[in-house]
């Protein structure tokens, strides 16, 4: 470890040990990349995403309260109607004439259960994350004992998926353009559960934990529920928290990820709502902003893309909606997110990152025809994310 890196770690530790965290100082440090040693990144992200307050003294009580709240969500939302747990104070309610599996009443608990299955199957199709690394296929050290405890009658989402007979065409909930969001240079995810091996009873793979987080989020946010692409947002968050070297934090990676994901989605959820696409907070406006910024910074390149009728929808939709999580390998995505989360106007900075990505390949784009340029933009050639972030910072400073 270089002396410079040791010095950076010490700088972070100094900021984080203060009774009240100096947010501006933490943002300034984090913008240049957060060291992964000692769980620094996990802690910084929790502060930057407004999960932990700036007052250290309140961390213990807030974490205990939030983690218990998440346990309550599990108790309430991952359970089959008609099955309850006597020792949790809920008596079994047998199927009755008023509420049965064929009840058409939209308020029926059975009807809700079947609607939830549609969302669950879509999540299950999408949750095979980062096939280029084995992490999400491996067993977590901290399976959810509340659900896996043989003494209770909670149904796991894995069993629920296996038992459902819904046809796949009923679960194609999606928004335009998101279906083809996987990058060509990424390996295709396994197509069946047989390839993505299911672990024995009593064990849980990390992807199952992510599936549960997304399902709970969908239940708590019925207005948006689950839209394809959210899986790519929650994945890097969970990976970061579940690999924390501090076992006390790692044990609660699921709950902590859920709340950080919820906070992050509160800032970017408009990208996933099709009806808002053309509003000032929608994704179309943001894509056009990438091009208007490019026009200011590099008119020649802007005119070339316009001349070839290369619209930002062809590439920037995925870049912006998924916070670049499909354009780079996971460690590089995490490094980009350090800077995004640390910037006060973080998603304005994302627009500048996208603009920087275009400018850094300007010579290739100026020489290429439509086909060549589309291939460049959909399978971005530069892998040095520090170079991209440095260029984006230059664009920001020149505004």
Q: Alpha-carbon distance 84 to 90, whole Å?
A: 6
Query: What is the H or E stretch that residue 248 is in?
Result: helix 247-250
Whether residue 169 lies inside any domain: the answer is no
What pLDDT was estimated at residue 113? 74
Range of the domain at 318: 273-397
- What does the pLDDT read at residue 324? 97
User: Looking at the structure, do residues 391 and 256 belong to the same domain, yes or no?
Assistant: no
20, 294, 363, 369 from 300: Cα distances, Å = 48, 9, 11, 15
Report yes or no on 314 lying in a domain.
Answer: yes
In a domain, 259, yes or no: yes
pLDDT digits (tens, 9 = 90+) for 143-187: 988 888 777 666 788 777 877 744 444 444 444 434 344 444 444
Confidence of residue 399 (pLDDT cuts 50, 70, 90): confident
Of 54 and 78, which is predicted with more confidence? 54
Checking if the pLDDT of 277 tops 70, the result is no
Say whether both 64 and 156 belong to one domain.
yes
Domain count, the chain: 3
- pLDDT above 70 covers what percent of the chain? 80
Query: The pTM is what?
Result: 0.86
> Is residue 173, in this structure, part of any structural domain at all?
no
* Residue 156 in domain: yes
Phi, psi of 139 (to 5 degrees): -75, 140
The CATH number assigned to the domain holding 349 equals 1.10.472.80
Residue 118 sits in the same domain as residue 259: yes
Examine the domain organization and report whether 129 and 259 are in the same domain.
Answer: yes
CB 30 within 8 A of CB 341: yes
CB of 310 within 8 A of CB of 370?
Answer: yes
- Number of H helices and E strands in the chain, helices first, is 19, 0
Tell whether 178 is covered by a domain: no
**Residue 98 shares a structural domain with residue 206:** yes
- Let me know whether 22 and 150 are in one domain: no
Range in 186-190, 259-263, 294-298, 313-317 the model is least confident about: 186-190
Which of 116-125, 238-247, 280-289 holds the top average pLDDT? Answer: 238-247
358 and 215 in a single domain? The answer is no
CA distances from 297 to 31, 256, 291, 380, 386 (A): 23, 40, 10, 20, 20
Residues near 197 by Cβ (< 8 Å), separated by ≥ 6? 137
Q: Residue 202's pLDDT is what? A: 80
Q: 110 and 78 in one domain?
A: yes
In sequence order, the β-bridge partners of residue 55 are: 20
Contacts of 26 (CB under 8 A, 6+ apart): 12, 15, 16, 44, 47, 48, 342
Residue 185 lies in a domain: no
Dihedral sign of CA atoms 90, 94, 97, 102 in order = positive
Last residue of one domain, picked from the residues 237, 269, 301: 269
The pLDDT tens digits of the residues spanning 39-76 come to 999 999 999 999 999 999 999 999 999 999 999 999 88
pLDDT tens figures, 342-370: 988 878 999 999 999 999 999 999 999 99
Among the candidates 249, 269, 289, a domain finishes at 269
The answer on 380 and 285 residing in a single domain is yes
| 3-state secondary structure (DSSP) of residue 2 | coil
Average pLDDT score, the chain: 84
The residue from 229, 254, 269 where one domain ends is 269
> So what's the pLDDT on residue 148?
82
pLDDT at 363: 97
* Position 25 pLDDT exceeds 80: yes
The predicted pLDDT at position 19 comes to: 97
Residues 91 and 117 in one domain: yes
Residue 279 clears pLDDT 80, i.e. is over it: no
Q: Is the dihedral of CA 240, 245, 247, 248 positive or negative?
A: negative
Same domain, 259 and 285: no
What is the predicted pLDDT for the residue at 156?
A: 80
What's the pLDDT tens digit per position in 361-398?
Answer: 999 999 999 999 999 999 999 999 999 999 999 999 99
In a domain, 112, yes or no: yes
In this predicted structure, what is the pLDDT of residue 106?
A: 56
Please write the tens of the pLDDT for every residue from 90-124. Answer: 444 444 444 545 555 555 565 677 788 888 888 98
Domain check: are 213 and 112 in the same one?
yes
């Amino acid at each position: 470890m270089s002396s410079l890196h040791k010095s950076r770690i010490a700088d972070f530790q100094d900021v984080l040990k203060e009774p009240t965290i100096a947010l501006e100082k933490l943002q300034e440090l984090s913008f240049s990349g957060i060291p992964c040693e000692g769980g620094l990144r996990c802690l910084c992200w929790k502060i930057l995403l407004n999960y932990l307050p700036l007052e250290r003294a309140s961390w213990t009580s807030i974490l205990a309260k939030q983690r218990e709240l998440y346990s309550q969500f599990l108790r309430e939302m991952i359970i089959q109607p008609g099955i309850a747990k006597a020792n949790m104070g809920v008596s079994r309610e047998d199927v009755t004439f008023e509420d049965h599996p064929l009840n058409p009443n939209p308020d029926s608990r059975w009807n809700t259960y079947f609607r939830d299955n549609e969302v669950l199957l879509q999540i299950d199709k999408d949750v095979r994350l980062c096939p280029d690394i084995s992490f999400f296929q491996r067993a977590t050290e901290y399976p959810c004992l509340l659900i896996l405890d043989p003494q209770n009658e909670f149904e796991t989402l894995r069993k629920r998926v296996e038992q459902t007979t819904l046809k796949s065409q009923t679960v194609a909930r999606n928004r335009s353009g998101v279906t083809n969001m996987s990058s060509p240079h990424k390996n295709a995810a396994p197509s069946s559960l047989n390839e993505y091996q299911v672990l024995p009873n009593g064990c849980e793979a990390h992807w199952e934990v992510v599936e549960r987080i997304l399902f709970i989020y969908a239940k708590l946010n019925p207005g948006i529920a689950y839209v394809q692409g959210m899986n790519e947002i929650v994945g890097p968050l969970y990976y970061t928290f579940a690999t924390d070297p501090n076992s006390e934090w790692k044990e609660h990676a699921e709950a902590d990820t859920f709340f950080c994901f919820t906070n992050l989605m509160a800032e970017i959820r408009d990208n996933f709502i099709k009806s808002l696409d053309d509003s000032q907070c929608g994704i179309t406006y943001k894509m056009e902003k990438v091009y208007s910024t490019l026009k200011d910074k590099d008119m020649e390149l802007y005119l070339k893309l316009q001349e070839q009728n290369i619209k930002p929808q062809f590439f920037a939709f995925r870049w912006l909606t998924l916070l670049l999580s499909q354009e780079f390998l996971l460690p590089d995505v995490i490094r980009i997110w350090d800077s995004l989360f640390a910037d006060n106007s973080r998603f304005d900075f994302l627009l500048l990152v996208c603009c920087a990505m275009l400018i850094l390949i300007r010579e290739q784009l100026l020489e290429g025809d439509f086909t060549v340029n589309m291939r460049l933009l959909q399978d971005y050639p530069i892998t040095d994310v520090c170079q991209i972030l440095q260029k984006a910072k230059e664009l920001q400073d020149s505004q």
